[in-house]
Every structure is written in C-alpha cells, then in structure tokens.
C-alpha cells in the first residue's frame, strides 16, 4: 500500500490538516532493567517515539498508539519539509481528524526489537560494542508494552484516554489493558485477535525460514556486510498477499501483464501482481532489518492472551476500560470471527463493548486506507470516552 | 498430506482393491515435432505413463486422468512389493473403486516439463548432450494436452469415456475437451477453474522468486551440483498453506508446540504447524526438480481458457461432452465461485452439466483424501456416461 498512500498524498498536495513537521524523540532507560518473559534482562534500552498535539494540564487527553509489524513511531506528519510521504496513519491523526490533535495528545513508540530507533537486534550491545544480532533476547508483546508503560511514567502520564492499535498494534493494546487495567479508560482494537491464528503462524514461519535460509543471513551476524535481502524480500511478498483480499487483488491486477503485450514464455516477472509483489519486496529491504522481522514475527506468533489462564474470559477479568472492536469483512489474516471472540469474552466480563464489522474489499490493509466509516467510528468513540473521562477529571480540577 | 495418506495405507494393511504392482511405461515421439504455443518446436519428447485395467475390445472404456502440479503418472498401485505408499489417487482407482478397473481402462501421463519420466528441463537436450535447464521451451497447458493426445493416438485410442482432473489436472481436462471436443464423452473437473486467479498467480510468483533467488539455482544450470533445495522448499511450504483450509490447520495443529513444553524464546522451529511445513518442504526437495516447478507453475499461471476468445462461453462452444464439476467449500485456492463460473459458461452452451459443492474442512487437498461423497459422485457419473456411450458403441459392435 505504501506507494498508493504516497501517491494519494502527492495528489492532495499540502494537507491543511497535517500535524506538520515532527521530530522523533528518544528515551533511554539506563537505571531500571527490563525483566523479560524469556527470563533475561534488558538494560539499557531506548525507545524511539513521537508525539502529536498538546498534553492537557490535567494530563487526561493521552492516546497511545501501537504500531503493526512493519510500522514505526512516525505515525503522522513529515520529518522534513521535502518529505513526500507522511507517517503511516496520517489519515487518522491531525487537527480535525478522527484522532483530533486539537483535543488529544497522541504518542506512538517503536517497539522493542524494532529497527526504527528502539533497541533491537541491530542495536549495539554495550557489552560487546557490536550489534546484538541473535544475541538480542526474544521479546514478547508483553515485554513490548511493559517498556512502553515505563515511557509513559517517564513522561509523567498516569492514565490513558485510549490505547489504540491495529493488527499487531491491536495485540499490544489488548495486552496493555490486561497488564495495566487501571491506566486505561478505553481500548480501540482494530483487525486484531486474542492470539495469532495457526494459518498466521504458518505464514510467519515461512517468512522466517526464507530469511534464515538466505546465505547472507549468517546466523544473524550480517551487519556491516550484505544483509539477507533476498530472504526478507520473500518474507515481505508473502506478507503482502495476506494483507490484501482476493477480491481486491483481482480487481486491481487481474491477469494483466506489466509491460508486455503478450506472454514472454520465459521466467521473467510479467504479471502485474508479480511485479507489484516484487517491488514491495525490494523496497522493504531498503527500510527494514531482517533480524527485526524474525524477532517481531516471533513475538506475534507467541501472542496468546489466554495462555497461562483458564480462558480468554479470565484474561479480561480485571478490565474496566470500554472497548471498540473493529473488523473488516475481507480481512482473512485477522478475520471477523477472531474479533467476535474478543467481543464475547469482553461481554462475559460485563465490559462495555462496541463491535463494528466494516464492509470493505481491501482486506487487512483497510485500516491504513481512507475509510469514512472507520474514521467516524474512531472519532465518535473517542469523543464519548473523553466526555466521560473529562467530566470526572476536569470537575475535580475546577 | 503425503505422510497421512501413507499412514492410512499402512493402517489398512494390504488393500484388497489395489491394482497391485504396476509399471511406468514410456513413449517417445521421435518423428513428429510438437509445435508449442511459444513458437518453438520440441522433438523428440518422451511421456511417462501408467495404465490400469484392461482396454475393452471396442476401445470404449478409457479414462484419461491428468495430474496436478506435484503429481505424476503413478496414480494407483505400487511399483514394488515393498512400497509402503501407493500412487497419489489410489483411493479412487482399482477394482470396485469409483474408477472401477474392472470396467474402465485408466491412463495417466506425466506432464511435459515434469520430472517424473516425461521430457522436461532436467532431461538431456539431444543437441547438447546436457540437461536442458532453462533452454527447455516453456510449455503451456495446451501443449501438455496436445502431447497427451498424441500418446492416445499412439495407443490406438480414438475416443475417451472421460477426461478427469483436479486442480491443474482439471485445467488440462478443460483444455483437452476444448481442443479435442470430438474425442471426449465426458469431463470431470474437480477443484479447478477456467483460469488461474490473481491470488494464485501471486503465490506461484513468490514460489518462483524463492527458487530463482536461491544461489544454487544458477540460472537453472545446477544439474550435477547442489540444487536450489532451499528455494524449492520455501515454494512447497507456500503451496501447502494454500492446499489446506484455515479451519483444518486450526483443528490439526492449533498453537501446539512440536517437542517443547513451553516457548524456547529462540528462532528454532517450534510450533507444530511450523514443523509440518518444514517437513513438507524438506521431503519435497528429495522428489521434485526445482526447474520443473518453475515451468509447471508458469503453465498454470498462463492458463486462461477465455484468452484469445470473446468469452468463456465461446471457449466451450464446440463441446458436446457432459460435465461433472466439483468444488469444496473450504478450498480457497480454487474457490467454489470459480467452479460456478465454469458451470454458467457450460450451461450457456446447453452442455449437460452437474455441479456438486462438497462440504469439507480439508481445503483444496480434499480431492486427495477419502471422501465418500466425492467417490459416489465420480462412480455414478462415470456409470451413467458409460451406459450411454456403450449403448451406442456396443450395439454397433453387436
């Protein structure tokens, strides 16, 4: 979708509702090691993050966004005046947009194990002076959100108006509210699930296999040399099939050839869909670390909210936040039935939950695309939550 | 599925309805070059084939089976008394089975470009004395069936009681009846389509990309050295996801770990589904030529019965055979809507067509598994066709 979204913005020219130029910030936790689920400790660690809008004096207008597998902290706006492409969810965040920066203070941090400024396998291990590579500890979705909770504490933020995420971002939102129920007024979980599905694990397993069987991978110790670009490219191509729907692929590409009038009867890339995937694979290797792809997909595959509990219902037993759960009809990576499972478990706990299944042909990627129904739902949900929260916080302050 | 089917047979012990020990036969066409759709000519070429049952004196009991991507001519029975695994559709062919060898004479040939005895990229190019590799011409589904039509002529068989195929085999059956309408009394098209879907092309494209980006591929010139096993293994893993349904994967593997009690927090293969795919990938490289995989997937992707015609309806305009079209509810590689498209185009031509959608959780692979509904439908359909055909041929002979 990247190129299309860029094209969309290019067409629109300067967006009057952009948050404008933003800067990535960095926070390094030096003094408090993070105890990871794998039993190891991580220290020090850095989180890259961005913020949009202004923190209210009551510190009661904070939305924490969690990004998906290939996302980063740069959700909205531009890093330089000449950037042609804004942050990955710019459609959603800005003055007058669904997450209205005239009202809310929005934060997003790059996940641990990522490669966009937060500590991950490509970071320098202070003990050796060399990149961690595979010596980086495996972090879980739980570890990721614990690190981000500390960032919030560092920023002096106690309670969140909302935690918001789609896909792996939704997993983090769910994990966050389960671990820190008292810190969250509401949860917006989009195109996500309480656990990675078997088929999802299968796709991730092949992606990892492709990266690790690339001879350039060298057990993860490729920094300074050639990265396993070919393996990462295959991983990304597989991912892209799962992000689109069959309907949309057919509409968008059909059986059309890319630059030939007729079949070439050779092994060249010739179908448009083939060329699209090839391009997606090739451009991804310019911006993503293959080891981060291994670590993050493993965190996704491990994610299972009910694990170690009797049931998913039990997982949500301490939750007081209210929920908006959203799925897309043509999303086959995180299908609607997984959202419904979340809704049932929440309702069994008496959690106030709104469920919205949006009709869309755009598959899992719908959340990244212009969708008025999604935009209105997010805007209305946040407005209601804010009204209720502020009735309390702002009366006390008055 | 391979291992499960083997296990199934091992459990059953000796199958009293087996065709028994069979031998692969070879026919080489020396004198008549095959003019290929790519514009090149192939000569000589060999087809490996097997037959089961007895050809009737009237030569009116012949069923031609076409195999799928990774299949071969060995459809039923065993090659040696110690074989533990029979041919790939042994469930369907034998005395008393749906394709009853007491009544019918069944033939199956390995496709051109294959690697199981028919001429393909791993065959010796007589002009150079070395394996063809990428110098082998690209063959289409149309070329494959034209070669097999010549085999029939060589065997003295004019008319077929039925052409039968599932998946790519179904594409060949459709192509055969369109090219040689007068030679076919009936068509049994299972889990197939009039064209490869965009999503199907996308999966095949990644598979080819994986093979061709394996450094051992060497532009297809790897014979005598290390084959691109890693690339082929990835290709096969991708294929296997598309052959199974999401439901079945969940039921069969869930999130269970293979040999560990709990997560290992490393990059090892640990989920059962991961281990299953890994095994499927590794065992496939023992039995399949990576270049054949490239050629055959390309033939599949090129397949489009309506291409060069105004419509699919026009493609079937000369057809007089009757049809049984079968799809499976959980098949997402060749979904039911593709079968329905075939049925509509056939009915628009007044072709006698039966459509059967079988409820199954086993996805595309359902056709390879025991399924009483499929067995009965095949048996009944062939029985009716034979009765009608024989009423004509055997009366004439009498």
Measure in Å the smallest separation between the Cα of B268 and chain A Cα atoms.
Answer: 10
Asked whether the beta carbons of residue B205 and residue A265 sit closer than 8 angstroms, the reply is: no
Q: Is A301 a catalytic residue?
A: no
Q: Does B261 touch chain A (CB under 8 A)?
A: no
Q: Evaluate whether B317 touches B349 at the Cβ level (below 8 Å).
A: yes
Query: Does the structure show a pLDDT above 90 at A259?
Result: no
- Interface mutation target, options B198, B258, B285, chain A, most CBs of A under 10 Å: B198
Would an 8 Å CB–CB cutoff place B255 in contact with chain A? yes
Q: Which residues pair with A190 in a beta bridge?
A: A166, A326
Question: Tens digits of per-residue pLDDT, B303-332?
Answer: 999 999 999 999 999 999 999 999 999 999
Nearest to A234 among B210, B274, B281 (CB): B210
pLDDT, tens digit, 9 for 90 and up, residues B230-269: 999 999 999 999 999 999 999 999 999 998 889 999 999 9
Residues of A in contact with B202 (CB under 8 A): 241, 249, 273-274, 277
Does B210 reside within a domain? Answer: no
| Chain A 296-325, residues with CB within 8 Å of chain B CB atoms | 298, 301-302, 304
Residues of B with CB below 8 A from A133's CB? none
Question: Is B332 near chain A, with CB under 8 Å?
Answer: yes
Please give, one letter per residue, the 3-state secondary structure of chain A: CHHHHHHHHHHHCCCCCCCCECCCEEEEECCCCEECCCCCEECCEEEEEEEECCCCCCCCCEEEEECCCCCCCCCCCECCCCCCCCCCCCCCEECCCCEECCCCEEEEECCCCCCCCCCCCCCEECCCCEECHHHCCCCCHHHHHHHHHHHHHHCCCCCECEEEEECHHHHHHHHHHHHCHHHECEEEEECCCCECCHHHHHHHHHHHHHHHCCHHHHHHCCCCCCCCHHHHHHHHHHHHHHHCCHHHHHHHCCCCECCCCCCCCCCCCCEHHHHHHHHHHHHHCCCCCHHHHHHHHHHHHHCECCCCCCCHHHHCCCCCCEEEEEEECCCCCCCHHHHHHHHHHHHHCCCCEEEEEECCCCHHHHHHCCCHHHHHHHHHHHHHHHHHHHHHHHHHHC
Is the confidence metric ipTM above 0.90 for this complex? Answer: yes
- Which of A147, A189, A150 shows the shortest CA–CA distance to A338? A189
Residue that has been written with the tokens 């929440």 in this structure: A346
Give the closest of B39, B205, B255 to A195, CB-based: B255
Q: Does B87 touch chain A (CB under 8 A)?
A: no
SS3 B181: helix
Q: Is the peptide bond before A44 cis (omega within 30 degrees of 0)?
A: yes
Chain segment B124-153, per-residue pLDDT in tens: 999 999 999 999 999 999 999 999 999 999
- What's the pLDDT score for residue B73? 98
The reply to whether B116 falls in a domain is yes
- State the pLDDT confidence band at B270, using cuts at 50, 70 and 90: very high
> Which of B198, B234, B249 is the closest to A253 by Cβ?
B198
Structure tokens at A168: 């792996």
Contacts of B14 (CB under 8 A, 6+ apart): none
A138 vs B contacts (CB less than 8 Å) = 265-266
pLDDT digits (tens, 9 = 90+) for B73-85: 999 999 998 998 9
B210 touches A at CB < 8 Å: yes
> How close is the nearest chain A Cα to the Cα of B78, in Å?
33
What's the start-to-end Cα distance of chain B, in Å? Answer: 47
Instruction: Return d(Cα A180, Cα A299) in angstroms, integer.
Output: 19
Name the phi and psi angles at B271, rounded to 5: -75, 145
The number of domains in chain B is 1
Task: Find chain A residues with C-beta within 8 A of B274's C-beta.
Answer: 201-202, 205
pLDDT score for A7: 60
Token pair 């408090």 in the structure block, residue: A32
Confidence (pLDDT) at B392:
85
Closest-CA residue of chain A to B212: A267
pLDDT of residue B14: 64
CB B107 within 8 A of CB B64: yes
B353, part of any domain: yes
B356 at the A interface (CB within 8 A)?
no
User: Could you tell me if residue A246 is inside a domain?
Assistant: no
| pTM of the predicted protein model | 0.95
For residue A311, what are the domain limits?
A: 2-196+305-397
Q: Is A376 part of any domain?
A: yes
State the CATH number of the domain containing residue A333. Answer: 3.40.50.1820
Among candidates A213, A265, A278 on the partner chain, residue whose Cβ is nearest the Cβ of B138: A265
For residue A229, the model assigns a pLDDT of: 98
B292 domain residue, yes or no: no
Report yes or no on B225 lying in a domain: no
Q: How far is A205 from chain B (nearest CA, A)?
A: 6
pLDDT in tens, A309-322: 999 999 999 999 99
Q: For residues A139 and A112, is the Cβ–Cβ distance under 8 A?
A: yes
Q: How far is A146 from chain B (nearest CA, A)?
A: 18
**Of A72, A100, A289, A331, which is the active-site residue?**
A331
The predicted pLDDT at position A103 comes to: 98
Mean pLDDT throughout A269-282? 97
> Quick check: is B251 in a domain?
no
């Amino acid at each position: 979708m990247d190129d299309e979204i860029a094209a969309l913005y290019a067409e629109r020219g300067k967006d009057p509702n952009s948050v404008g130029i933003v800067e990535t910030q960095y926070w390094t936790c030096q003094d408090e090691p993070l105890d990871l689920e794998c039993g190891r400790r991580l220290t020090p660690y850095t989180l890259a993050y961005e913020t949009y809008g202004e923190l209210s004096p009551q510190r009661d207008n904070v939305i924490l966004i969690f990004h998906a597998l290939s996302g980063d902290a740069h959700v909205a706006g531009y890093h330089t005046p000449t950037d042609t492409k804004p942050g990955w969810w710019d459609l959603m965040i800005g003055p007058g947009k669904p997450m209205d920066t005239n009202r809310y203070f929005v934060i997003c941090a790059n996940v641990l194990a990522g490669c966009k400024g937060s500590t991950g396998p490509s970071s320098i291990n202070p003990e050796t002076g060399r990149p961690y590579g595979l010596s980086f500890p495996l972090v879980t979705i739980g570890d990721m959100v614990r690190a981000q909770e500390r960032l919030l504490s560092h920023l002096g933020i106690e309670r969140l108006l909302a935690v918001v995420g789609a896909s792996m971002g939704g997993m983090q939102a769910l994990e966050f509210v389960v671990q820190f129920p008292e810190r969250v007024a509401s949860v917006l979980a989009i195109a996500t699930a309480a656990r990675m599905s078997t088929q999802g694990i299968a796709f991730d397993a092949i992606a990892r296999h492709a990266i690790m069987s690339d001879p350039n991978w060298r057990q993860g110790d490729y920094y300074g040399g050639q990265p396993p670009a070919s393996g990462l490219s295959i991983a990304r191509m597989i991912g892209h099939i799962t992000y689109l729907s069959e309907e949309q692929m057919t509409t968008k590409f059909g059986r059309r050839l890319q630059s030939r009038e007729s079949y070439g009867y050779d092994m060249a890339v010739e179908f448009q869909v083939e060329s699209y995937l090839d391009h997606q694979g090739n451009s991804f290797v310019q911006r993503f670390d293959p080891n981060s792809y291994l670590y993050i997909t493993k965190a996704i595959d491990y994610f299972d909210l009910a694990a170690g509990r009797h049931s998913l219902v039990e997982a949500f037993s301490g939750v007081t936040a209210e929920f908006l759960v959203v799925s897309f009809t043509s999303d086959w990576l995180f299908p609607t039935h997984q959202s419904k499972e979340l809704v049932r478990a929440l309702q069994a706990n008496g959690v106030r939950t709104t469920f919205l299944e949006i009709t869309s042909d755009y598959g899992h990627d719908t959340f990244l695309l212009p969708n008025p129904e999604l935009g209105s739902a997010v805007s209305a949900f946040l407005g209601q939550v804010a009204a209720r929260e502020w009735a309390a916080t702002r009366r006390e302050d008055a």
